């Protein structure tokens, strides 16, 4: 049965202050599923995760069971690392998830660690999240004291599972999994060239699985109720529910856990109380600022992963007028579910200024390793700023398209696309507004 509005998994204990204490969590059945998992062969758990259609909630939507199966069977010294860096603008779910239900994350980690044969495991949390860090550290200490973590956990007599909570210094790029691993090793937080992928050579050169907070918090539900049950809650190849954080010009912004089938229009109207102050809708960013925006005619698409990439109702993003952007393999870029950060903007929004602000962010956060990203984000930032100031030159819009197209697909990590895709998306969907601000003729001084 597909999930219904109000059917909550990972957010069901939001608002329950008591739940952060291990005794309260245990009283509600906490850690029983981890005990059950200890008796299950790892291959059975992987099969359940695969059957569940759980897809990574960190941004790319990669199938979790498949990712786990990439770790070589005979690997030793495997690590599990939880990505709680959460720096994508518009995204604020993971910090709340760990704040309200830290033991659910630890239980998910214990199950994942057992499945992967990982002994030393880590939670990488963004440095600014002091409140959540304190909650996590206390929860980890409680779990050690109760024997859920340690050298011989839960009376198994042999299985060890350790968790270290590691604070980052607050750089967006350290959310990229290989930059995160470098940061943990005390190196500069810059992405690594892939392959090798972390599943083969990750933290300290050992096989490593990096998963998002929300991804791992879904694991206990799958082990408890079965992969098929979880798959049935969702739709197509997207199992379970979706947790989104809605901000911007709606009456009721917030973090909502929803059925995969809900459309963006239903989300705004039925869940978020409609547009604020009776204003008209202009557009929305569907999954963090790195994703191309949607306009009104595209709102009847569900929030589910595949629909956002393939639904015919969403217009392909164009590089120049009439030429859809080719993501490779003939796939046309529409948009993506991304990190779940939905930003809604109303009719009064200056989209050129909005896009310009986004470009400043990616320019500032580029780690500088590759030329297309380092130079291209700066160039797009500069041009956007001048267009937003009403000093755009004839040809600037085409130039932005060329630069964005030159970045995408030509960089070490996906920060390049994170900057190029919204640039192309905003330009495609609001082209007239960009053109209207490009008033200086070619050759004239700005
Ligand atoms: C620039 C950049 C920033 C990222 N930031 C995050 C982040 O803050 N949190 C996160 O979970 N994933 C982030 N990711 C995605 C991670 O690289 C990785 O794919 C993810 O943590 C895997 O977990 P999942 O499979 O459970 O989604 C980022 C990726 C890029 C390219
Ligand atoms: S794409 Fe940008 S952020 Fe990523 S490695 Fe290259 S320069 Fe660094």
Domain match, 39 and 94 both:
yes
User: How are beta strands 392-393 and 254-259 bridged, if at all?
Assistant: unpaired
Residue 191, ligand 2, Cβ within 6 A: yes
Number of H helices, E strands in the chain: 18, 12
Q: Are residues 123 and 147 in the same domain?
A: yes
369: Cβ below 6 Å to ligand 2? Answer: yes
Q: What's the 88 CA to ligand 2 centre distance in angstroms?
A: 15
* SS3 assignment, position 294: strand
Which tokens sit at 224?
Answer: 């408890």
Tell me: the pLDDT tens digits for 148-187?
A: 999 989 877 678 999 999 999 989 999 999 999 999 999 9
Tens digits of per-residue pLDDT, 30-81?
999 999 999 999 999 999 999 999 999 999 999 999 999 999 988 989 999 9
For residue 306, how far is its CA from the centre of ligand 1 (angstroms)? 18
Q: Verify that 144 and 271 share a domain, yes or no.
A: no
Are 253 and 118 part of one and the same domain? no
Q: Among all ligands shown, which has an atom nearest to the Cα of 178?
A: 1
Of the candidates 233, 254, 277, which is a domain's last residue?
A: 233
Q: Is the CB of 418 under 6 A from ligand 1?
A: yes
**Same domain for 254 and 223:** no
State yes or no: pLDDT of 446 exceeds 60. Answer: no
Q: Of 233, 268, 290, which closes a domain? A: 233
Contact of 68 with 48, CB cutoff 8 Å:
no
Q: What is the percent of the chain with per-residue pLDDT over 70, rounded to a whole number?
A: 98
- Domain extent at residue 178: 17-233
Q: Which two tokens stand for residue 307?
A: 């629909």
**What is the band of 444 on the pLDDT scale with cuts at 50, 70, 90?**
low
Atom of ligand 1 minimally distant from the CA of 365: 1
Alpha helices in 122-244 (DSSP H): 130-145, 177-184, 213-217, 219-225, 227-233
CA atoms within 13 A on the CB side of 169: 8
Instruction: Out of 233, 267, 283, pick the residue that ends a domain.
Output: 233
User: With a 6 A CB cut-off, is 366 part of the ligand 2 pocket?
Assistant: yes
- pLDDT value of position 323: 85
State mean pLDDT over 208-236. 97
Q: Is the CB of residue 189 below 6 angstroms from any atom belonging to ligand 1?
A: no
CA atoms within 13 A on the CB side of 26: 10
Q: Is 289 in the pocket of ligand 1 (CB under 6 A)?
A: no
Computed over every residue of the chain, the mean pLDDT equals: 94
What pLDDT sits at residue 441?
66
302 lines ligand 1 (CB under 6 A): no
Atom of ligand 1 nearest to the CA of 61: 27
Atom of ligand 1 nearest to the CA of 179: 17
Residue 298: its pLDDT value, please? 96
Summarised one tens digit per residue, pLDDT across range 352-408 is 999 999 999 999 999 999 999 999 999 999 999 999 999 999 999 999 999 999 999
Pocket test for ligand 2, best of 373, 376, 404, 409 (most atoms within 8 A of CB): 373
Cα–Cα distance between 165 and 142 in angstroms, integer? 14
Strands 341-346 and 241-248: parallel
Task: Compute the distance between CA of residue 33 and CA of residue 30 in angstroms, rounded to an integer.
Answer: 7
In a domain, 383, yes or no: yes
Does a structural domain hold residue 389? yes
Residue 162: inside a domain: yes
> Cα separation of 11 and 97, whole Å?
7
CA of 22 to the centre of ligand 1 (A): 28
Q: How far apart are CA 160 and CA 117, in angstroms?
A: 9
Element (H, E) at 163: strand 162-167
Per-residue 3-state assignment (H helix, E strand, C coil) for 356-394: HHHHHHHHHHCCCCCHHHHHHHHHHHHHHHHHHCCCEEC
pLDDT digits (tens, 9 = 90+) for 331-360: 888 999 999 999 999 999 999 999 999 999
Give me the mean pLDDT over the 282-294 stretch: 97
Same domain, 174 and 284: no
Ligand 1 center–CA 83 separation, angstroms:
7
Question: Ligand 2 center to residue 414 CA distance, Å?
Answer: 7
Are residues 360 and 270 part of one domain? yes
**What's the 338 CA to ligand 2 centre distance in angstroms?**
18
Q: Is the CB of 368 under 6 A from ligand 2?
A: yes
Q: Classify residue 10: in a domain, yes or no.
A: no
Query: Cα(248)–Cα(281) distance, rounded to whole angstroms?
Result: 11
| CB of 420 shorter than 6 A to ligand 2 | no
The rounded distance, in Å, linking the Cα atoms of 297 and 363 is 31
User: Does residue 317 line the site of ligand 1, with CB under 6 A?
Assistant: no
Residues 164 and 40 placed together within one structural domain of the fold: yes
93-118 residue pLDDT tens: 999 999 999 999 999 999 999 999 99
- The answer, yes or no, to whether any atom of ligand 1 lies below 6 A from the CB of 247, is no
Q: Report whether 96 contacts 227 (CB < 8 A).
A: no
DSSP 176: S
Whether residue 65 has its Cβ less than 6 Å from ligand 1: no
Residue 3 falls inside a structural domain: no
Model pLDDT, residue 329: 75
Kindly identify the ligand whose nearest atom is closest to the C-alpha of 339: 1
Q: Atom 6, ligand 2: which residue's CA is nearest?
A: 370
| Ligand lying nearest the CA atom of residue 370 | 2
Closest ligand by atom to 171 CA: 1
Is the pLDDT at 439 greater than 90? The verdict is no
CATH number (domain holding residue 219): 3.40.50.11540
Q: Whose CA is nearest to atom 8 of ligand 2?
A: 367
The answer to whether the CB of 218 falls within 8 A of the CB of 211 is no
Whether 356 lines ligand 2, by a CB cut-off of 6 Å, is no
H-state helical runs in 53-92:
64-69
User: How confident is the model at residue 443, as a pLDDT?
Assistant: 64
What number does the ligand 2 atom closest to the CA of 373 have? Answer: 2
In a domain, 8, yes or no: no
Instruction: Tell me if 368 sits within 8 A of 374, measured CB to CB.
Output: yes
| 225, 273: one domain | no
Same domain, 203 and 278: no
- Quote helix, strand, coil % in the chain, to nearest 5: 45, 15, 40
C-beta of 209 in contact with ligand 2 (< 6 A):
no
> What is the count of structural domains for the chain?
2
First to last CA, the chain: 60
Q: Are residues 75 and 33 in the same domain?
A: yes
Above 60 in pLDDT, residue 445? no
373 lines ligand 2 (CB under 6 A): yes
Residue 2 lies in a domain: no
Closest ligand (CA of 372): 2
Per-residue model confidence (pLDDT) at position 330: 76
pLDDT at 328 over 80: no
> Whose CA is closest to atom 22 on ligand 1?
211
Reference 211, options 122, 103, 93; nearest CA is 122
Position 7 in a domain: no
Same domain for 77 and 153, yes or no, is yes
Pairing mode, strands 241-248 and 254-259: antiparallel
């Amino acid at each position: 049965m597909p999930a219904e509005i109000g059917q909550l998994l990972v957010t069901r204990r939001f608002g329950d202050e008591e739940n952060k204490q291990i005794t309260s969590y245990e009283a509600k059945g906490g850690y029983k599923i981890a005990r059950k998992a200890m008796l299950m062969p790892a291959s059975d758990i992987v099969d359940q995760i695969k059957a569940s259609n759980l897809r990574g909630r960190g941004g790319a939507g990669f199938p979790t069971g498949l990712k786990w199966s990439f770790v070589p069977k005979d690997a030793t010294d495997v690590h599990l690392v939880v990505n709680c860096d959460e720096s994508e603008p518009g995204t604020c779910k993971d910090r709340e998830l760990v704040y309200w239900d830290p033991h659910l994350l630890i239980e998910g980690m214990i199950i994942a660690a057992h499945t992967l044969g990982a002994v030393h495991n880590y939670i990488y949390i963004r440095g600014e999240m002091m409140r959540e860090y304190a909650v996590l550290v206390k929860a980890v200490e409680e779990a050690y004291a109760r024997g859920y973590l340690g050298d011989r956990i839960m009376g198994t007599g042999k299985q060890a599972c350790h968790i270290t909570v590691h604070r980052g210094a607050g750089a967006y790029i350290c959310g990229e999994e290989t930059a995160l691993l470098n940061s943990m090793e005390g190196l500069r937080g810059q992405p690594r060239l892939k392959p090798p992928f972390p599943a083969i050579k990750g933290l300290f050169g050992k096989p490593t699985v990096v998963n998002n907070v929300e991804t791992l918090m879904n694991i206990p539900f799958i082990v408890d109720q079965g992969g098929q049950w979880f798959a049935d809650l969702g739709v197509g190849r997207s199992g379970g529910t979706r947790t989104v954080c809605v901000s911007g010009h709606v009456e009721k912004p917030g973090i909502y856990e929803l059925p995969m089938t809900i459309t963006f229009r239903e989300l705004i109207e039925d869940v978020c109380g409609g547009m604020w102050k009776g204003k008209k809708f202009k557009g929305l960013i569907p999954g963090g600022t790195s994703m191309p925006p949607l306009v009104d005619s595209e709102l009847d698409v569900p929030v589910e992963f595949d629909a956002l990439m393939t639904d015919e109702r969403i217009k392909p993003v164009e590089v120049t007028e009439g030429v859809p952007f080719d993501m490779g393999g003939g796939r046309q870029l529409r948009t993506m579910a991304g990190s779940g950060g939905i930003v809604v903007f109303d009719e009064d929004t200056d989209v050129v200024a909005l896009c310009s602000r986004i470009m400043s962010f990616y320019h500032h956060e580029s780690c500088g390793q590759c030329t297309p990203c380092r130079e291209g984000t700066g160039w797009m930032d500069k041009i956007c700023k001048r267009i937003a100031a009403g000093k755009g030159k004839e040809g600037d819009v085409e130039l932005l398209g060329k630069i964005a197209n030159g970045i995408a697909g030509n960089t070490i990590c996906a920060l390049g696309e994170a900057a190029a895709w919204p640039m192309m998306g905003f330009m495609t969907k609001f082209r007239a507004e960009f053109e209207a601000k490009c008033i200086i003729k070619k050759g004239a001084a700005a």
